[in-house]
Amino acid sequence: MRHLVPICLCLALAACGGDFSNDDLEFLNAFPRREDLTASMPGKTQGEAWGARVASKSAQQAGRLGDSSGIVGDTDKTGLRFNEAVDGILSSLEAIQQYTPTKREPNRRVWGPIPGRNDMRFDTRFVMTREGERFDYQLQYRDIGEGEDAWWSFMSGSFQANGGVRKGEGSLIMDLKRAREERFLDIPFLDREEIHYQTRKLPTRVELVFVSNVPTLLPSRYIYREAEGDLAEMTFQILDTDFVQGGLREDVALTTRWAPDGRGTGILEIIKGDILGAKYTECWDAQGRVTFISRSWDFLNPTEGLRSSCPDMSALDR
Amino acid sequence: MSPPLLPSWRALAALLVLGASAAHADSLRRFALVAGNDEGGDETRPLRFAQDDARKMHGLLARLGGVAPGDAMLLLNESSKDFLAALTQLETRAKEARARGERTALLVYYSGHAKDGTLRLGNTRLGFEDLKQRLSNAPADIRIAILDSCRSGALTRTKGARRAPAFEIESGAARDARGLVILTSSSADEDSQESDALRGSYFSHHLASGLLGDADRSGDGRVTLFEAYSHAYARTVADTAASSGGAQHPTFSYDLAGNGDLVLTDLRAGGDGLVVPGLAPAGMYYFVDPGGMVVAELDKTPDVERRVALAPGTYRVKRRLSDRLRIGEVEVSRGRQVVLEESRLRDAPFSDDPVKGAAPEGGAWWTVGVSGGVQSFFDAPTRQSLFLSVGMLGAEAQLHDYFRRDWVWGVDVAVGGKQALLALPTLSGPPYKYSVTSLGTTLTSEWPRGTVAPFVGARMAYLVMRRDFEEATYPDQKYAMFSPGLVAGLRWQPLRRLHVTGRARLHYLLYTVDEQRSLGFWELGALVTYQP
C-alpha cells in the first residue's frame, strides 16, 4: 500500500503529454508534396494504347504529317526519368514525416539521432529550423558515436511557406560529392542533385539539376511546369542525336507542351550540330498524330498542315 | 438517570397565569446574540447543523420574538473573542436602553461544541463559568441563555442557579421578573445529538418548532419561555430515547427576582401563518419546506384550534396515520393567515413521505444527471488555433453530505467537439475535427438557503484534446493533462427529487508540447440531476 501513491503518481504523469502542436504542423508543411514535384506526362494521361504507340517513336528526325509524334515519346521517357529522380530524393523525406519530432525547441525540430546499427556505419538525424516563413532542413549523418561537430549534411533543403498548404518556393540539394568523400554513397560523376521548385502560383515550376564533374556526360537541367487547365510543359535536352542529315550529330533543346486531352506542341532547337540555331515546331492531335510542322531552315516548304490545329498553350507563357 | 428538571405542571400552571399578563413582556426591549459553530477544535468532530440551528433561531427571533433587526446579531463559526465582542456591543445598547427607562431582555443562543466546562468556538474556548458570570452582570433586566451543546447541563449545575421544579412562583405577584435564566440542551454528562432527518439538533428543532406554535398549549397565540422549554424537553427526550446516543435531557434553571414568565414569540406578530381549525383531525402534523426539511410540527388535539407561525412560502403538510399518510400543500402568503383545510389533503403511501428520509451512514445522498456547457480558453490565439472553444455534453454523479454536511463530491465526464479549419501563420485551410474529453472530480461546499444552495469548491480534471485531420498528409494529434480548477455556482431544487445547477469553472492547464505555457480556461454549464 505504501507504494500505491507513487505508483499512481507515475501512472498519472505517464498519461500526460502528447503531440498536439501547431508548430509541428507548420514544420510538416515545409516538406514538398510528391504530387507537386512529379511530372504528369502526356502518355500517362492518354491511356495505355496511345502511350505505347508514342513511346516507340523518338525525335531522331523531323516528323511527317499524320504520323505519330516522336517528341511525345521522348517527353514521356524523359518525364519518367525525371520522376524517378524526384522520387529518390523525396522518399527519405517522406519517411521522416511518419514520426513525431524527438526534440522540440523554439523554431527548431530534431528527429533522431538514430544510432547506426548492424551494417550501418552512420548515425542519422534530421534537423529543421524556422525563421519567419522560411524553413531550412538537413538530413545529416555522422560516424557512429562521433560528437556534435561531426554531423555533415547529405541533403539540404529550404522552403519559403508563402503559398498556403505546402505551397511556396523551395529547394532540395543532395550533396553526392560529400557522400562520396564520407564513403556514404559511391555515385561516380555526379557531385550534386538539385530540385528547385515554385508551387506558390501558376504556372508552377520544378527544376531538376544534375551537377556532374563531367559536364558533357548528361543533360544537366530538366524543367517541368504546370498552368491552369492542367496544361503542362517539359523542357530538357537530348544530346548526340542525328536530327538532320549532315556530317555532325546534334544536341537539341526540346520544349514540349501538352493539354489534358492529349493535344500538344513541341519546339526543338538545335544547340549543337549541323544547323546550329535551327528550330523545329510540331503540333499533334488528341491521338498523337502530327497535324502541323514548321522548319526554320526550310525556305521552300517551311510549314506543313494548319497552324490553327495547334492547341492554345498561352497559359504557360505567363 | 432522572432528568435535571422535570416540568412541574403545578409550576407551569402558575407561570401560565403570570405569562398571561403579556403586557409586561411585550414592553421589553429585546436583544439577541445568536451563535452557531460547527467546529469545536481538537478532539471534536465537526457538527453538521450548528450553523443552521443558529440561522433558524436568529430568523425566528427577528420575525416573531420581538427583536428588532438592529438588536439581533448572528455569529457563524466565529471565535470566542468575536462572541464576547458582540456581547459587549449588545450590553452597551441594553445599558443605554435601561438608562432611558426601558425594560430590557438579553437572549444568548449558542449551538455548537462544549467540552470540559467550556464552549468550543472553533479553536477558541469560553468557560461556562465565565459566560455565566458575564451574563449575571449583564445590564439587562432579564438574561436568557440557551445553550445547545454537549454537556451544557453543567452550566445549570453551577453555583448560583436553581433548577426547576424548585422554580417558585409567587402567585399573583405583580413584580416584573429580573435575573438569569439558563436553558441547556442536555445534562452535564450527556451529548447533544443532531438528526439528519430533522437537519438540526433535536433540542433546537423542537425548541424552534415550539416557538412557532406547537408549544402554545394555552392557545393564546403566545409562546412563553417555560412553554417552549417544556415542549422542547418532552420532545427531545422522546425523540432521543431510542437513539444510539441515549436519551438526552434538556435542563432549565433560573436565578430570578420577582416573577412572571417571559413571552418569547408572538404567533400573530408577522400577521401571517397557518391556522389548523378545531374541527381538523387530531394527530401529529408536519410542515415541510420545499427542500424536504421539517420546519415545524404540531401535536393537534381534538376540537382545539391551533396556530403555526410559518413564514411566507409553500409547504407540504403531512399527517401520519397508522396505515398511510395524509399529505397536501399549503401556500402561506405574506400578512395572511391561511386555514388548513382537511379536504385539501390526500391519502398517500408512506413511500411518498415528503420528508427527506435520512440516508444511512450519516445522511449521505446522491444524485445522477446530465450536463451541458461551453469551454473556452482565455488566450485568444490559443482558442482560435490550438484548443478551440467548444460545447460540451456530459454526465455526472454527486455524493452529498458524505464527508461532511453540505459537502458534495462529484465525478463527471464530458465530451465536446467541432469541425474546424486550420489557421496558422504559414498553414491555413486543412479541415480537421477537434475534440475534448474531460474526466473530473469535484469537491464543493454548499450553503443551502431554502431551495437554493450556492456553492464553491475545487476540481481536478483530466483533459484529452484531439485533432483528427481529414487528409492523411497531416498526423492526428493528441494532448492529455491534469488540470486543477475552481468551481462556483448555484443549485436549485424545484422539485423534491430534481436539482438544477448553474455553475462556472476556472481551470489551469499546463501546455508542454511546443513550449511550456500556462493556460487558463473557463467553463459555463448547467446540470440537471435526479435524486434516486
User: Domains of chain A: which residue ranges?
Assistant: 21-317
How much helix, strand and coil, in percent to the nearest 5, is found in chain A?
A: 25, 35, 35
Indicate the range of A63-67, A115-119, A185-189, B409-413 predicted with least confidence. A115-119
| pLDDT confidence band for B514 (50 / 70 / 90) | confident
CA A119 to chain centre: 30
Q: Which pLDDT tens digit goes with each residue over A152-172? A: 999 999 999 887 777 889 999
At residue B313, φ and ψ (nearest 5 deg) are 155, -175
Task: Kindly state the average pLDDT of the residues B453-461.
Answer: 96
Mean predicted confidence (pLDDT) in B38-59: 84
Q: Which amino acid is at B153?
A: G
Q: Are B39 and B49 a contacting pair, CB within 8 Å?
A: no
Domain assignment of residue B481, yes or no = yes
Same domain, B154 and B86: yes
CA distance B481 to chain A (A): 5
Chain B CB contacts of A162 under 8 Å are 426
Residue B167 amino acid letter: F
- In whole angstroms, what is the distance from residue A157 CA to residue A11 CA? 41
CATH number, residue B328: 2.60.40.10
Q: What's CA B395's distance to the chain center, in Å?
A: 29
B364 and B342 share one domain: no
Query: Are residues B449 and B379 located together in one domain of the fold?
Result: yes
- Class of residue A256 by CB neighbours under 10 A (exposed 0-12, middle 13-18, buried 19+): buried
**A19 to B478: CB separation less than 8 angstroms, yes or no:** yes
For residue A142, the Cα-to-chain-centroid distance in whole angstroms is 27
A26 inside 8 A of chain B by CB: yes
B367/B403 Cα distance (integer angstroms):
15
Q: Which of A16, A100, A106 faces B482 most closely, judged by CB atoms?
A: A16
pLDDT mean over A255-279: 89
Residues in a beta bridge with B461: B440, B483
Contact with chain B for residue A22, Cβ under 8 A:
yes
Q: pLDDT at residue A8 above 80? A: no
Residue of chain A minimizing CA distance to B421? A165
Asked if B291 and B205 sit in the same domain, the reply is no
A100–B contact, CB cutoff 8 A:
yes
Please name the helix (run of DSSP H) or strand (run of DSSP E) that holds residue B204, with its range, or none: helix B202-209
In a domain? residue B268: no
The predicted pLDDT at position B355 comes to 62
Alpha-carbon dihedral sign for residues A71, A73, A76, A77:
negative
Q: Do A28 and B475 touch (CB under 8 A)?
A: yes
Report the alpha-carbon distance of residue A126 to residue A139 in Å, rounded.
Answer: 5
Please, are residues B515 and B473 in contact by the beta-carbon 8 Å criterion?
A: no
Report whether the peptide linkage leading into residue B7 is cis, meaning its omega lies within 30 degrees of zero. Answer: no
- Averaged over B407-428, what is the pLDDT? 92
CA of A72, closest CA in chain B: separation in Å? Answer: 33
Distance CA A171, CA A179 (A): 19
Classify residue B234 by burial, with Cβ atoms within 10 Å: 0-12, 13-18, 19+: middle
Rounded to whole angstroms, the Cα distance separating A189 from A208 reads: 17
d(CA A41, CA A48): 12
The reply to whether B47 and B190 lie within a common domain is yes
Say which residue, A302 or B467, is predicted with more confidence: B467
Reported as a single tens digit per residue, the pLDDT across A59-95 is 455 678 888 888 888 888 888 888 888 888 888 787 7
Which of B430, B480, B513 has the CB atom closest to A15's CB atom? B480
Cross-chain CB nearest to A22 (options B466, B475, B514): B514
B302: which DSSP letter? T
Both B199 and B287 in one domain: the answer is: no
A14 and A48 in contact (C-beta within 8 Å)? no
Residues of B in contact with A161 (CB under 8 A): 426-427
Same domain, B175 and B51: yes
Task: Tell me how many domains chain B contains.
Answer: 3
- Whether B124 is in a domain gets the answer yes
Whether the CB-CB separation of A46 and A102 falls below 8 Å is answered with no
Residues B337 and B432 both lie in one domain: no
Query: Which comes out higher in pLDDT, residue B60 or B350?
Result: B60
Same domain, B217 and B243: yes
- B232: alpha, beta or left, given left = phi > 0 and alpha = psi -120 to 50? alpha
Q: Is residue B381 part of a domain?
A: yes
| C-alpha–C-alpha distance, residues B161 and B353, integer Å | 44
| A17·B515 Cβ contact <8 A | no
Please report the residues numbered 192 through 221 in chain A whose beta carbons come closer than 8 angstroms to any beta carbon of chain B: none
Give the mean pLDDT of chain B.
82
What's residue B153's pLDDT?
61
Whole-angstrom distance, CA of residue B243 vs CA of residue B263: 32
Contact criterion met (CB below 8 Å) for A205 and A213:
no
Q: Report the largest interatomic distance among the alpha carbons of chain B, rounded to a whole angstrom.
A: 103
CA-to-CA distance for B134 and B143, rounded, in angstroms?
A: 10
User: Is B310 domain-assigned?
Assistant: yes
- Reported as type and span, the H/E element at residue B180 is strand B178-184
Quick one: pLDDT at residue B24?
A: 39
More confident residue, A141 or B160: A141
Exposed, middle or buried, B364 (CB in 10 Å: 0-12/13-18/19+)? middle
Residues 6+ apart with CB under 8 A from A65: A290, A291, A292, A293, A304, A305
- Give the CA dihedral B96, B99, B101, B107, nearest 10 degrees: 40
Q: How far apart are CA B84 and CA B90, in angstroms?
A: 10
Query: What's the rounded Cα separation, in Å, for the pair A207 and B306?
Result: 104
**C-beta separation of B318 from B327 below 8 A:** yes
**Are B479 and A22 contacting, i.e. CB atoms less than 8 angstroms apart?**
no
> Among B324, B352, B380, where does a domain finish?
B352
ipTM of the complex: 0.74
C-alpha distance from residue B49 to each of A181, B101, B148, B359 (Å): 87, 39, 11, 16
pLDDT band at B151 (very low <50, low <70, confident <90, very high): low
Contacts of A111 in chain B (CB under 8 A): none
Q: What is the pLDDT at residue A239?
A: 77
Across the interface, do B474 and A133 touch by the CB < 8 Å criterion?
A: no
Work out the minimum CA distance from B480 to partner chain A, whole angstroms.
Answer: 5
Q: What is the mean pLDDT of residues B438-461?
A: 92
Crossing angle between the packed helical segments B202-209 and B225-240, to the nearest 10 degrees: 140
Is the pLDDT higher at B393 or at B475?
A: B393
Ordered alpha helix ranges (H), chain A: 4-14, 22-29, 34-37, 42-46, 48-55, 70-97, 176-181
CA angle centred on B210, ends B93 and B189, rounded to 5°: 85
Count of helix runs (H) and strand runs (E) in chain B? 10, 30
For residue A165, the chain B residue with the least C-alpha distance is B427
B467 assigned to some structural domain: yes
CA dihedral B184, B188, B194, B198 (to 10 degrees): -40
**Pairing outcome for strands B200-201 and B194-195:** antiparallel
CA nearest to B396, candidates B408, B407, B411, B406: B411
Question: What are the angstrom distances between the C-alpha of B512 and each of A17, B449, B480?
Answer: 7, 43, 10
Residues B392 and B512 in one domain: yes
Residue B438 Cα, gap to closest chain A Cα (Å): 13
Tell me the shortest Cα–Cα distance from B430 to chain A, in angstroms.
7
Please give the Cα distance from B289 to B330 (Å, whole number).
10
> In chain A, what residues touch B426 (CB-CB under 8 Å)?
26, 29-30, 133, 161-162
Q: Hey, are the CB atoms on A18 and B478 less than 8 Å from each other?
A: yes
Cβ-in-10-Å burial (0-12, 13-18, 19+) of B225 comes to buried
The whole-angstrom separation of Cα B25 and Cα B261 is 8
Residues B320 and B219 in one domain: no
User: Beta B118-121 vs B178-184: how paired, if at all?
Assistant: unpaired
| Average pLDDT over every residue of B89-114 | 90
The pLDDT of A140-160, averaged and rounded, is: 92
Q: What is the pLDDT of residue B155?
A: 58
Question: What is the maximum span of chain A, computed from C-alpha positions, in angstroms?
Answer: 104
Q: Which residues of chain A neighbour B466 with C-beta distances below 8 Å?
A: 20
Nearest CA to B461 out of B485, B443, B445, B434 is that of B485
Grid cell listed for A3? 507504494
Between strands B477-495 and B498-511, the pairing is antiparallel
* Neighboring chain B residues of A28 at a CB cutoff of 8 Å: 473-475
Residue A214: other Cβ atoms inside 10 A: 10
- Least confidently predicted of A145-149, B309-313, B351-355, B477-481: B351-355
Residues of B with CB under 8 A from a CB of A: 385-386, 422, 424-430, 462, 465-467, 473-475, 477-482, 512-515
* Residue B30 C-alpha, separation from nearest chain A C-alpha, in angstroms: 58
| Amino acid A255: pLDDT | 93
Which domain-ending residue is among B227, B257, B287?
B257
Cβ of residue A14 closer than 8 Å to a chain B Cβ: no
Give the pLDDT confidence score for residue A145 in this predicted structure: 83
pLDDT, mean of residues B427-431: 86
Residue of A nearest to B481 (CA): A16
Rounded distance, CA B336 to CA A141, Å? 94
Q: What domain range includes position B314?
A: 273-352
Judged against a pLDDT cut of 50, whether residue A3 lies above it is answered with yes
* B331 in any annotated domain: yes
Chain A residues near residue B473 by CB distance under 8 angstroms: 28, 33, 166
Mutate: best of A20, A109, A133, partner B, most B CBs <10 A: A20
Residue A161 touches partner B, C-beta closer than 8 Å: yes
Name the pLDDT band for A173 (thresholds 50, 70, 90).
very high
A219 prior amide bond cis, ω within 30: no
- Binned at pLDDT 50, 70 and 90, residue B388 comes out as very high
pLDDT of residue B351: 67
- Domain finish residue from B318, B352, B386: B352
Give residue A186's pLDDT: 81
- List pLDDT tens digits, range B153-162: 665 543 333 3
Inspect the interface and report whether the beta carbons of A23 and B514 lie closer than 8 Å. Answer: yes
- The residue of B379, B385, B387, B426 whose CB has the most chain A CBs within 10 angstroms, and thus the best one to mutate to test that interface, is B426
B430 and B348 in a single domain? The answer is no
Question: What is the least distance, in Å, from the CA of B362 to any CA of chain A?
Answer: 28
Q: What is the mean pLDDT of residues B192-198?
A: 73
Note the pLDDT tens digit of each residue in B172-189: 333 455 678 888 887 766
Q: pLDDT exceeding 90 applies to what percent of chain B?
A: 34
Is residue B354 pLDDT above 70, yes or no? no
With bands split at pLDDT 50, 70 and 90, how would you rate the model's confidence at B364? confident
